[in-house]
Amino acid sequence: MFNLKEYILKKKVNRQKKDLSNKTIVVKPITKVAILNNPESQLSFENLKYVQKALNLHSHQFEIFTFKKKNDHYNELRGIVASKEVFSIFGQIKSPEIKEFLDKQYDLLLDFTQLSNIYEAYLSLHIKANLRVGYYNEEQLYDIMLEVPYGDIKKFADETARYLKIIGLLP
């Protein structure tokens, strides 16, 4: 069955992917991090603390955005929570809180979602981040794509920290 909302979102995602391919990365210290996750990502409070320690950052430097299905009983971490219901039939975001999150500028995006649906891809692409890190996938939406087991947050954090040190973004 044809879904107008998902069709429009796919067109927007494809347009945004083209814009990303022309993006220049400005190398500057990381002070503000956006995290995109979902219930399958295994991001717990303990794992979040591990990420903060691996990147040598404080909790106030992180903002968390969770995408979940309407009836998921995921114990969200502090931050913004969304489902596909926040999108209008024409693919517009209806929530002022989510619009505000997407309008902020971040130094780093850590995407733990593995982009399991078009809504997560849309949100991932519309988070304004200087540098984008996510799991390896065919979509090529990230500046750094990590080939680590999905849900292994500690390995993801360690690899992210390693690459950020190599390019001079972490001490």
**pLDDT tens, residue order, the chain (171 aa):** 778 888 888 888 888 877 776 666 666 789 999 999 998 888 999 999 999 999 999 999 999 999 988 777 666 677 888 888 999 988 899 999 999 999 999 999 999 998 888 999 999 999 999 999 999 987 778 889 999 999 899 999 999 999 999 988 887
Give the pLDDT confidence score for residue 26 in this predicted structure: 67
CA distance from start to end of the chain? 51
List C-alpha distances in Å: 71 to 57, 77, 79, 82, 95: 33, 17, 18, 11, 18
**Strand boundaries in 1-79, DSSP class E:** 33-37, 62-67
**Model pLDDT for residues 36-76, shown as the tens digit of each residue:** 999 888 899 999 999 999 999 999 999 999 998 877 766 66
Residue 31 and residue 45 in contact, taking contact as beta carbons nearer than 8 Å: no
Give the pLDDT confidence score for residue 95 in this predicted structure: 92
pTM (2 d.p.): 0.86
Highest CATH level, class, for 4-13+29-166? alpha beta
Give the pLDDT confidence score for residue 17 in this predicted structure: 78
Q: How far apart, in whole angstroms, are the C-alpha atoms of residue 70 and residue 55? A: 32
78 φ, ψ to 5°?
A: -55, 145
**DSSP single-letter state for residue 24:** P
Domain ranges of the chain: 4-13+29-166
166-170 LR contacts (CB < 8 Å, sep 24+): 167/27, 168/27, 169/27, 169/28, 169/29, 169/30, 169/108, 169/131, 170/30, 170/55, 170/56
